[in-house]
Amino acid sequence: MTTLYELLNQARVELKELAIDNFDESFEVSDEVYQIADSSVPVYTWDILQLAADNLDLALNEPELGPAFDGSPTPTNIIAANIYEAVVNDLYEYWNDELEAEFNELAESV
């Protein structure tokens, strides 16, 4: 079973690798953040519910973007949207607090 903590760490590693591998001017952090977040949301109900069992905020919070997948307000769709938002928020925080300066330094050295 993957926890939200593990999922966020995997997303951070992916963002860092993409930033380092694509540090030229074509790198758009927002595009990468949303793509990573989208691919981080499990598609199987069991996996989504396991994440919610590990972190009840995923099941109790109302997502800002509305329910995921087909948009119907089922518990699974709400949890999936909260997972997506958690990954997006964490990746932006990680970028702003840690990666952006490193990324800019690397880009300037080239």
pLDDT tens string 94-108: 999 988 888 777 767
User: What pTM was computed for the model?
Assistant: 0.91
Range of the domain at 22: 4-108
pLDDT tens profile 11-26: 999 999 998 887 766 7
Q: Which residues contact 17 (CB under 8 A, 6 or more apart)?
A: none
Closest to 34 (Cα-Cα) out of 97, 95, 105: 95
Report helix, strand or coil for 8: helix
CATH number at residue 43: 1.20.120.780
Task: Kindly report, residue by residue over 54-90, the tens digit of the pLDDT.
Answer: 999 999 999 999 999 999 999 999 999 999 999 999 9
Q: How confident is the model at residue 5 (pLDDT cuts 50, 70, 90)?
A: very high
Q: Does residue 110 carry a pLDDT above 70?
A: no
Q: How many domains is the chain partitioned into structurally?
A: 1
Q: Is the dihedral of CA 82, 84, 89, 90 positive or negative?
A: positive
